[in-house]
């Protein structure tokens, strides 16, 4: 992508309404624009990151055999009356009437919708277990939408639902999701700690929140110090095997969100206790037959008897994660993207676009990077070098290749690692070998 053609409306001034780094940086880097309170448009740069995050989430859901589908954003109110949640949900639910005066709502989550689909389609215990998910926009009319995409009213969520014959099966589904979540967040360069959590309006008796530690987080948490430097080596796990030992290992030590904190355990931990703030990026629930019973979702068992299915639901805040990654990865100059979620891998800075040698070298580099599938953002604008450095630091592309006339005379370009700030001169060939390797 050529920056001269790219729609990336950066801001020099810090927007007054933004209180935390991620909100500030997303506005300044031209990633999002507010439409109304808690509702945002995703501009090209922000949308690229959203898609990268969505893709990692999707790959890790697929890896545990969870099947992707797509349910609508608008749901009929009657479904929510069946589960008794229509009145319970209160003013957070956006209620709509269609032209026939039918009561509809913009879905804040999809338990009712998926249970309705399941009960109409699945008859036999042989068809279980089932794991289904979708990645779809949700609406919750939050009292205090704030911090940009972190607490929005419209937000993108991955929500998955499991259907099992019995509690042991439901536990296996829960464990798959638990491990999948650890892997998902690790791939984004984040360390998300699984914490005992309250299950809230969703109900149920087993629930974990996945929380990233950050000073600007909205949740107050407490955990054992060991979580801070616990190794997260999860790539070689057999996802079809018994995952209970892994779940046990990650839940053996104390980690709890605010509502679940236990003063006695905390006293006993002494110096091993850490209290901190965090961002909830995922939340998983086992709720047994709460919805299946209310809505009549049962299958025929081996002896012809009716078995009400055991369910769980599993959410990831996909759009919130964009902000959460920035909270975890930024410095005074701007965003520092972890490579897997970076909007581009390489920023190519042409320091003198009116110099034919510089431009020829840049065009060559740009074509080679593109040809090797490396996503490059080429700053070919007729701007001062200082502006280019500041913008590229702000948008946080992991590698910068800086091309200027003086270096070129010696046959070298400068390569900067945005993460460490290290910069060094290299021949064009060795820079390319490193970036395309
Ligand atoms: N039905 C369940 C699981 S599918 C559910 O809705 N869980 S939730 O309420 O915890 O939401 C799942 C995730 O969505 C949260 O962990 C959080 O990361 C994200 N989320 C929730 N509310 C918002 C919001 N207002 N803005 C951005 N992300 C949100």
CB of residue 212 inside a 6 A radius of ligand 1: no
Give the tens place of pLDDT for each residue, 220-278: 999 999 999 877 678 788 999 999 999 999 999 999 999 889 999 999 999 999 999 99
- For residue 201, is pLDDT > 70? no
Correct CATH for 344-436 of 1.10.645.10, 3.30.9.10, 3.40.50.800, 3.10.129.10: 3.40.50.800
- Cα 91 to middle of ligand 1, angstroms: 17
- For residue 320, is pLDDT > 80? yes
Correct CATH for 3-335 of 3.30.930.10, 3.40.50.11030, 3.90.550.10, 3.30.420.40: 3.30.930.10
CB of residue 281 inside a 6 A radius of ligand 1: yes
Neighbours of 436 (CB within 10 A): 14
399-402's contacts with Cβ under 8 Å and 24+ in sequence apart are 399/345, 399/346, 399/347, 399/435, 400/346, 400/347, 400/348, 400/349, 401/346, 401/347, 401/348, 401/349, 401/365, 401/431, 401/435, 402/349, 402/351
- For residue 205, is pLDDT > 80? no
* Res 301: pLDDT: 96
- Its pTM stands at 0.96
- Sequence ranges of the domains in the chain: 3-335, 344-436
* Res 14: pLDDT: 86
Q: Is the fold of 3-335 the same as that of 344-436?
A: no
- For residue 394, is pLDDT > 70? yes
Q: Which residue of 40, 75, 320, 323 sits with most ligand 1 atoms within 8 Å of its CB, as the best mutation to test the pocket?
A: 320
- Cα 279 to middle of ligand 1, angstroms: 11
Lowest mean pLDDT among 76-80, 212-216, 389-393: 212-216
Give the tens place of pLDDT for each residue, 162-196: 999 999 999 999 999 999 999 999 999 999 999 98
């Amino acid at each position: 992508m050529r920056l001269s053609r790219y729609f990336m409306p950066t801001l020099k001034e810090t927007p007054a309404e933004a209180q935390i780094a991620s909100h500030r940086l997303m506005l300044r880097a031209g990633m999002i624009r507010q439409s109304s309170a808690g509702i945002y448009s995703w501009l090209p740069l922000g949308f690229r990151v959203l898609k990268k995050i969505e893709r990692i989430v999707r790959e890790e859901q697929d890896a545990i055999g969870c099947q992707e589908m797509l349910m609508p954003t608008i749901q009929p109110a009657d479904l929510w009356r069946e589960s008794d949640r229509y009145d319970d949900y209160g003013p957070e639910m956006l209620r709509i009437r269609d032209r026939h005066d039918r009561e509809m709502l913009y879905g804040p989550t999809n338990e009712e919708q998926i249970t309705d689909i399941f009960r109409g389609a699945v008859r036999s215990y042989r068809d279980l277990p089932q794991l289904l998910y979708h990645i779809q926009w949700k609406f919750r009319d939050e009292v205090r939408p704030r911090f940009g995409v972190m607490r929005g009213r419209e937000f993108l969520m991955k929500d998955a639902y499991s259907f099992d014959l019995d509690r042991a099966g439901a536990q296996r589904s829960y464990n798959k999701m638990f491990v999948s979540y650890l892997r998902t967040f690790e791939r984004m360069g984040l360390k998300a700690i699984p914490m005992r959590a309250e299950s809230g309006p969703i109900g149920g008796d087993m629930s974990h929140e996945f929380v990233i530690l950050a000073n600007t987080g909205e949740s107050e948490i407490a955990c054992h110090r060991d979580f801070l430097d616990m190794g997260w080596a999860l790539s070689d796990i057999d996802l079809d095997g018994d995952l209970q030992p892994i779940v046990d290992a990650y839940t053996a030590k104390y980690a709890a969100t605010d509502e679940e904190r236990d003063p006695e355990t905390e006293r006993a931990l002494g110096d091993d206790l850490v209290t901190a703030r965090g961002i909830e990026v995922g939340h998983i629930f086992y709720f047994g037959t709460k919805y299946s019973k209310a809505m009549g979702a049962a299958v025929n068992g081996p002896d012809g008897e009716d078995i009400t299915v055991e369910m769980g639901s599993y959410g990831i805040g996909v759009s919130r994660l964009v902000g959460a990654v920035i909270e975890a990865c930024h410095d005074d100059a701007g965003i520092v993207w972890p490579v897997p979620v970076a909007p581009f891998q390489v920023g190519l800075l042409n320091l003198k676009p009116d110099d034919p040698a510089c431009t020829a070298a840049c065009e060559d580099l740009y074509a080679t990077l593109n040809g090797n599938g490396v996503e490059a953002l080429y700053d070919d604008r007729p701007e001062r070098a200082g502006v280019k450095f500041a913008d590229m630091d702000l948008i946080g592309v992991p590698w910068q290749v800086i091309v200027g006339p003086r270096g070129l005379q010696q046959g070298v370009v400068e390569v900067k690692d945005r993460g460490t700030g290290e910069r060094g001169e290299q021949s064009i060939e060795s820079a390319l070998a490193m970036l395309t390797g």
